[in-house]
Structure formats: structure tokens, C-alpha cells
Structure 1
Amino acid sequence: MTRPTTPDAARQAEAAHEAQLLQRVAAGDRGAPLEELYDRYERRVWAVGLRRLRDRGAAEDLVQETFVRLWRAAPRFDPERGTVGALLMTIAYRAASDLGRRRAGETTVVSLDIDVADGPAEPHGGTEEEEQLLLRDELQAALSTLSDEQREILRLHFQEDLTQAEIASRLDLPLGTVKSRVFYGLRHLRATLSEQRDG
């Protein structure tokens, strides 16, 4: 006769399973394991965003930003130092603070959160303008690799500043489909841009 699972044992099993999911992400599997983590934590992260940012659209942006940061942090995750859930919620709170500062105009936002050169531009030297032109060209090349559906949703989200719910209504799509296309479209863009720069 097997003993019933205790709450502590169940939590430990869940933590071990999530650690394995994130380790698979770190190893290069950006499909099912990341989707499962997204399904597990999306609502909690969204709730953090709504509570901290007091805007549904900003809360949706927080979900996307948090999971992109989790994807980037996956190779550095150490299950001996904490759980995936704790890491993810820490990322969510930090991302919420960053988004809050952006919305207050305290930082400069680059479209689609693409990182540009770390150093400041040289004064009056044309460096900043050249960097922006290069960024635009890289972005256009990366956008061309997206599906038409992903590209249209990202255009509505970033250029027309529509929330994901508004996009779903305009395109007559389920909200979950819009969220998924935004998430995976951004992930694909960042991966493509990273490959362009590494190459």
C-alpha cells in the first residue's frame, strides 16, 4: 500500500519538475517546456502586473517581458539556490518596476525592447543616428522572418499601441491565440537579432 503524498513532497516534486523544464529550455528546447511554464504562471504574473501597474495592457506586456527574461536567464538557473517559481516571480517584480519607470518616462524605450550599443553616442558625431538606422535595418530583416500572422499582431501591439484584448477583438481571434503569437513572435525576433549580431 502506497503512502499518500504529503503537501511538502508534492511541492518538492513540482519544484523538481519545473527545474527540469527550465533546464530543457537552457539546453535549447524553446517549445513545450517554456509553454508549460507559461501556462503555469501566466495568470500569477499578470496579476502582479495589474496590481503594480494598474493597467491591463501593461499587465499583458509584463507577462511577455517576464517570460522572455526567464528564457534568457535559463542557462544560469541553479535549482540548489531556489525554485523556478521563486526565480520567475522575482523576475516579474523587477520587470514590473522597469515597466513602471518606462511608463513614467524615466527611461528611454527602444521599440520591441531591443538592446543597442551599451556606450553613449559621441556628441554631434552622427553615431546615434547611424546606430538607429542599423537597428531599423536589423529589425526589418528580422520581421521578414515572422509569419504574416505574427507580424500583423506585433504591428498592432507596438505601432498602434493596442492591448492584446483589443487585438483579439479587432482580428476576431481568441485572446489566448493573440497572447501566444505575441510571445513567440517576440521570442523569434530576439533570437533572429541575436544570430544576426553574433554572425
Structure 2
Amino acid sequence: MTHMQADALILRVAGGDMAALEELYNALAKQVYAYALSLSQNRQTAEDVMQDTFVRVYSGAKKFRPQRFGVAWIMRIARNLTMDALSRKSSTYEPLDENIDSAASVEDTAVDKTVISDAVSRLSESEREVFVLHAVSGMKMNEIAQMLDQPEGTVKWRHSQALKKMKKYIGTEVAQ
């Protein structure tokens, strides 16, 4: 979804267009869920955040300023809701790959996911957030910078640091 499409849909939502909200949900729900899951490490929290995000989009659409990136605005809502949920309750850690089938054909994938998940969890919170927003959610650096209200150079530096650490962590795990 392009920035212009997201902005236009949010403006339609502000006018009460439920079809526009549904279109936003269909386009961004998985991205919001993946981001919330990466921050919370809890499936139920991520599901709740995903649903609450679109409730907030609906209720706050009239406050949206079109000069902001619509996707970044929505992801910021998801971030704030996730942080609120984490501060309200101590989340129970649920491993991300708990439901991986134990069949031999999936074994390599499970090992890869475990190594990557472990490496991501070893990043600092700010590095992990930038890494996940870029790698998982597909956001551009300028979108992430706007969402986090940080200079783009800072976001790029954190992403670079995260990549260096990921390579180091994954290299160490593969060598063992």
C-alpha cells in the first residue's frame, strides 16, 4: 500500500467510510500483528493490539494529518498500544515457534527460525524495533523515522548496528 493510498483511506475513514477501514485492515492487519508480536513476544497481546489499533484508527481518523505517512501513523498507534499493554501487565513469554511441526522436512526451518528469533531477541529494544519495522513490516527508513519521531540518520544507524549484531549472533550460532 502506498502512502497516498493509506492517506486517502484514512481520510475516507474520517468521513465514516467503513469500507475504507476494512480495506486498511485487509492491507495492514498482518503487518500490525507481526510488529506487535515482535515487541510483545505474546500472541494474545499481539492479537489484541492488532484489533485495538484499527479501533483507534477509526476513532482517531479525524485527527490524522495527511502530511504524515498513513502507514507510519497506524504503526505508531500499534507501537503505543503494545507498550501500554506491556506496562499494564507482565506478559508471559510464549516462544514464537511453539507450533512448528516436528516433521523432519521442517526441522531445518525450525532451527533457522530459532536462531533468528534468538538473535533478534538479543538486540536492544531500539535496535530490535527498527530491525523488525524494516525487515518484517517492510517500512522504509524515512517512514520508521517519522513513526518513532527520530532523525532518519539515527534510525539508519540503529538498523546498521542491528544488522552487524545479527550477523555476529547468527554466525556464532551456526558455528556451534
> What is the TM-score normalised by the length of structure 2?
0.49
> What is the TM-score normalised by the length of structure 1?
0.43
Q: Which has the higher contact order (CA 8 A, sep 6+)?
A: 2
Q: Which one has the largest radius of gyration?
A: 1
